[in-house]
Amino acid sequence: LRETFYIAEEQVLVNRCLDGDEQAQYELYQKYVQAMYNVAIRMVHYSEDAEDIVQEVFVKVFRKLDSFQGESTLGAWIKKITVNTTLNFIRKRKHKQTTSIEDSMEVPVFEEDIDTSEFSMAQIHCAIKQLPERCRVVLNLYLIEGYQHQEIASILGITVSTSKTQYRRGRMLLQDILRG
Amino acid sequence: MDKLKKHIEKNRPALDRIEQPDMDRLWSNIRKELAKEKGTPKKGELKVVTEKRGRRFTLWAMAMAASFALVIGLGVGYLMNPQVTESADFNLANYAPSLEKEAANYRKLVNAKKEEINFQQLDTLAFTEVLQELKELDKEYDHWTKDVPQYVQEQELLEFLQRHYEQKIRILEILSKVASCQLSARSKQNSALKN
- Concatenating the DSSP letter of every residue in A81-122 gives HHHHHHHHHHHHHHHH-SS--TTTSPPP--SS---GGGS-HH
Q: Give pLDDT, residue A53.
A: 96
CA distances from B56 to A66, B118, B171 (A): 9, 24, 11
SS3 B2: coil
Q: Give pLDDT, residue B109.
A: 87
Q: Give pLDDT, residue A58.
A: 95
Q: Give pLDDT, residue B152.
A: 67
Contacts of A174 in chain B (CB under 8 A): 4
What is the complex's ipTM, to 2 decimals? Answer: 0.85
CA distances from A47 to A17, A30, A160, B98, B162 (A): 27, 18, 30, 52, 42
> What residue type is assigned to position B107 of the chain?
R
Residue of A nearest to B44 (CA): A19
**pLDDT over threshold 80, residue A74:** yes
Contacts of B33 in chain A (CB under 8 A): 55, 59
- Residue-wise pLDDT for A4-42, tens only, equals 666 677 888 888 898 888 899 999 999 999 999 999 999
Q: Give pLDDT, residue A20.
A: 85
| Distance of alpha carbon A148 from alpha carbon A143, whole angstroms | 9
Instruction: Tell me the whole-structure pTM to 2 decimals.
Output: 0.56
Residue of A nearest to B6 (CA): A117
What rounded mean pLDDT belongs to chain A?
Answer: 85
Are the C-beta atoms of B79 and B131 separated by less than 8 Å? yes
Contacts of A29 in chain B (CB under 8 A): 27, 30
Place A55 in a pLDDT band, splitting at 50, 70 and 90.
very high
Residues 55-74 of chain A with CB under 8 A from chain B are 55, 58-59, 62-63, 65-66, 68-70
Is A145 in CB contact (< 8 Å) with chain B?
Answer: no
> What residue type is assigned to position A16 of the chain?
R
Which of B3, B15, B20 lies closest to A115 in CB terms? B3
Contacts of A62 in chain B (CB under 8 A): 30, 34, 40
Is A178 in CB contact (< 8 Å) with chain B?
Answer: no
Q: Give pLDDT, residue B188.
A: 67
Rg of chain A (C-alpha set)? 18
Residues comprising chain A, all counted: 180
Cβ contact B8–A15 (<8 Å): no
| Distance of alpha carbon A170 from alpha carbon B174, whole angstroms | 54
Cβ contact A37–B15 (<8 Å): no
Give the gap in angstroms from C-alpha A8 to the nearest C-alpha of chain B: 5
Contacts of B44 in chain A (CB under 8 A): 19-20
Q: Give pLDDT, residue B44.
A: 40
Mean pLDDT to the nearest integer, A134-152: 93
Which is more confident, A96 or B116?
A: B116
Phi, psi at A59, each rounded to 5°? -65, -45
Give the gap in angstroms from C-alpha B183 to the nearest C-alpha of chain A: 23
pLDDT in tens, chain B (195 residues): 578 888 999 999 999 988 989 999 999 999 998 888 655 444 443 333 323 333 444 444 444 433 333 333 333 333 446 667 787 777 777 777 788 888 888 888 888 888 888 777 777 777 777 777 888 888 888 877 776 666 667 777 888 888 888 888 888 877 777 777 766 766 766 776 666
Q: Give pLDDT, residue B121.
A: 72
Q: Give pLDDT, residue B74.
A: 36
Is A29 in CB contact (< 8 Å) with chain B?
Answer: yes
| Distance of alpha carbon A147 from alpha carbon A79, whole angstroms | 12
Cβ contact B15–A11 (<8 Å): no
Are the C-beta atoms of A68 and A74 separated by less than 8 Å? yes
**pLDDT over threshold 60, residue A119:** yes
CA distances from B68 to A149, A175, B32, B126, B163 (A): 41, 57, 41, 19, 19
Cβ contact B163–A12 (<8 Å): yes
| Distance of alpha carbon A163 from alpha carbon A149, whole angstroms | 6
